[in-house]
Chain A
Amino acid sequence: MTTRIDRRMAKLKVEGRPALVTYFMGGDPDYDTSLSIMKALPKAGADVIEMGMPFSDPMADGPAIQAAGLRALKGGQTLVKTLKLASDFRAGDDETPIVLMGYYNPIYIYGVDRFLVDAKASGIDGLIVVDLPPEMDEELCIPALKAGINFIRLATPTTDDKRLPKVLQNTSGFVYYVSMTGITGAALADTGKVASAVKRIKGHTDLPVCVGFGVKTAEQARVIGANADGVVVGTAIVNAVANVLGPKGEKTADPAEAVATLVSGLAQGVRSARLAAAE
């Protein structure tokens, strides 16, 4: 089976540049705005879309993504609506891969089998579920693979060589390397260490390795992208939305435009990554 993720990653490999993977929170601050943000992402140069599924208790997220999730929930977002966002987006774009990212409980409550059928029908290509390590693969990872949906695993600085094979075993689509121990949105780790970690992971797998946690600027995207197959940006995008919301949540500018401006810059960063590395 190949998914949109596999096809997109293969295409970028031919182009010789890393992927720009962009995270936004589904339903933040409301359904319609969030759909316009989603549509703006590929136009601004995003290669893969990660859509956050809001959860009341995001244990691995920093303040920015916590707040985004709460805004979305307050705006009435549910998992049903998050899947609808994907299918609405798919009506106009059948190529950009969509990865859902979040926590297990809303999926568990939705029902795993029903969720996988509906996710596939909505055009979802991959899942990142933070609180499902390989030890819990029977819960969702194996059923997702059977349903033809990539299960993208996080590898972290604490995942040593002994553990890496276990983490990579049922991973598909790409490997998401979390550049540091900690929550989303903290400062970027030492880029030299990140490069050697990516090299270490690539010694264990042929899958593309994308790096996230802490990438906020085009320059950081360029530096990280020089040694990785993709660069993930999340908190900076979520902040771009927050920055155009007033104290009562009213929009002071167009969130989709704010996100597009940021993502265009990041896209230039990843597009110059290999060029710079070759110099």
Chain B
Amino acid sequence: MNKPATPNSFRTGPDEQGMFGIFGGRFVAETLMPLILDLEKNWNEVKNDPDFRAELTDLSTHYAGRPSKLYFAEGLTKHLREVSSAKGLGGGAKVYFKREDLNHTGSHKINNCLGQILLAKRMGKKRIIAETGAGQHGVASATVAARFGFPCVVYMGATDVARQSPNVFRMKLLGAEVRPVTAGHGTLKDAMNEALRDWVTNVEDTYYLIGTAAGPHPYPELVRDFQSVIGTEARAQILEQEGRLPDTIIAAVGGGSNAIGLFHPFLDDKDVRIIGIEAGGRGLDGIEHCASMNAGSPGVLHGNRTYLLQNADGQIMDGHSISAGLDYPGVGPEHSWLRDSGRVEYVPVLDDEALEAFKLTTRVEGIIPALESAHAIAHAVKIVPAMDKDQIVIVNLSGRGDKDVHTVASMLGMEI
């Protein structure tokens, strides 16, 4: 594939057709097209509306607990400096965590849900539907639905219902109906298909609250904008705490909303190295991974063109990841574009590596990270010892790991 010419800015997309280069677009059934156009119209009205912004900022501050802290991970930094010394390198960059795990509901997902629920309210919608993988977005959706008095249906793959039972219970407590989806492998892809089927049936009153920066335009743009608060804060915080920009920023990429949220405000800071981490699962040789940008090819699914795991006939494959939140065979279209343009590097991290990072962070920082976030930490563990001591790395700690304790226990052969 031809590399696109380097643009003056990496922050201007998408274009009017909702495209990031060849990626993105509006590949949906005609039934949904008028709804998507209506959403786009409303989004364009609110995105620069001071009243909408003020309401969102107020909720973000007092309800969700923003700004989230940028925390110097001293324990992990010290550990990785010891690793560096043991290798005779004598280095080890300073590691900071962007603490999205401290948000209300325990992950970055609330940022997007608050923005979209205000949009749904403004559009006069009466019912919320959402898809969820790990259950983090389902919980955040159920939370804002409860807060604003909407009935809420969450589609969740049956496999994920089983491995994320604490989040299923939370959603039910919050008043949402959780509908398990048994099609395919019963993971996020199948949940998204079923949510789209619900939406195409209930067009009159239903708002589809997509959880990641993917789907038909304008979702990738609006989810990114709601999540960009992560990077905007982190950029200001590091300037205040260190007086300079970081050398490297790292985030895990499933659909990619926490990653695009951290990355977007840094895209034009050309000296900042940006790394997205894909789920390498059990390795990229077989099909037991979710590394669509490292081992997939461009295709069309769920309303957008993007990198997908697929076979030679264009049939979508079921991926695998230890982390339900990364278990998706595609990725948001802006990531695909950032990959091809070379601005962002995307690398895989294996299940085992993520699990080690999960255990390490818990021990040396007293923080139990989500398995999704543990993928990003695992990459920091790999690269930080070879960096200089005066260098700075920011890792997006996108969510807390309480929901994953059952999965981790079973991986470790323990019962709880």
Contact = CB atoms under 8 A, between A and B. Distances in A.
A109 B30 contact: no
Nearest to B27: A131
B201 A56 contact: no
Contacts of B62: none
B299 interface: yes
Contact of B30 (A56, A105, A106, A159): A159
A121 interface: no
Contacts of A181: 31, 200-204
B313 interface: yes
Contacts of B28: 131, 133
Contacts of B302: 57, 59
A136 B26 contact: yes
Interface residues of A, number: 42
A78 interface: yes
A134 B310 CA distance: 26
B315 interface: yes
A163 B193 CA distance: 26
Contacts of A78: 313
A105 B29 contact: no
Interface in B285-319: 297, 299-303, 305, 308, 310, 312-316
Given A133-B26, A133-B29, A183 B201 contact: yes
Residue of A59, A109, A155 with highest tally of chain B CB at under 10 A: A59
Interface string A66-85: 10000001000011100000
Interface string A104-146: 1111111000000000000000000011111110000000000
A78 B26 CA distance: 25
B305 to A, nearest CB: 8
B149 interface: no
Contact of A130 (B29, B184, B201): B29
B304 to A, nearest CB: 10
B25 interface: yes
Contacts of A186: 201
Nearest to B202: A181
Given A107-B314, A136-B25, A156 B30 contact: yes
A131 B27 CA distance: 5
Given A59-B29, A131-B27, A158-B34, A105 B316 contact: yes
Contacts of B26: 133, 135-136
Q: How large is the interface on B (under 10, 10 to 19, 20 to 34, 35 or more residues)?
A: 35 or more
A133 B197 contact: no
A108 B314 contact: yes
Contact of B316 (A56, A134, A153, A157): A56
Given A59-B197, A79-B313, A181-B201, A153 B31 contact: no
B29 A131 contact: yes
A188 interface: no
B196 interface: yes
Contacts of B310: 105, 109
A182 interface: yes
B155 to A, nearest CB: 12
B139 to A, nearest CB: 25
Contacts of B34: 158-160, 163
A154 B32 CA distance: 12
A258 interface: no
B314 A57 contact: no
A105 B316 CA distance: 9
B299 A155 contact: no
A160 B197 CA distance: 21
A270 interface: no
Nearest to A103: B300
A154 B30 contact: yes
B379 interface: no
A60 interface: yes
Given A79-B314, A181-B203, A133 B193 contact: no
Nearest to A80: B313
Interface in A37-81: 55-60, 62, 66, 73, 78-80
A106 B314 contact: yes
B200 A60 contact: yes
A59 B31 CA distance: 12
A133 B37 CA distance: 12
A135 B25 CA distance: 9
A155 B30 contact: yes
Given A78-B313, A159-B30, A59 B25 contact: no
B375 interface: no
Interface string A89-112: 000000000000001111111100
A178 interface: yes
Contact of A106 (B27, B200, B315): B315
With a 10 A CB-CB cut-off, give which of B31, B193, B200, B308 has the most chain A CB atoms. Answer: B31
Contact of B301 (A62, A105, A107): A105
Contacts of B184: 56-57
A245 interface: no
Contacts of B405: none
B17 interface: yes
Interface in A159-184: 159-160, 163, 167, 178, 181-183
B35 interface: yes
B411 interface: no
A157 B31 CA distance: 7
Given A135-B17, A158-B34, A181-B200, A109 B314 contact: yes
Contacts of A60: 29, 31, 196-197, 200
Interface of B: 17, 25-35, 183-184, 189, 193, 196-197, 200-204, 297, 299-303, 305, 308, 310, 312-316
Given A105-B299, A105-B300, A133-B27, 8 more contacts: A57-B184, A60-B200, A73-B315, A106-B313, A135-B26, A136-B26, A153-B30, A159-B34
6 contacts: A57-B193, A60-B196, A105-B300, A109-B299, A133-B28, A160-B34
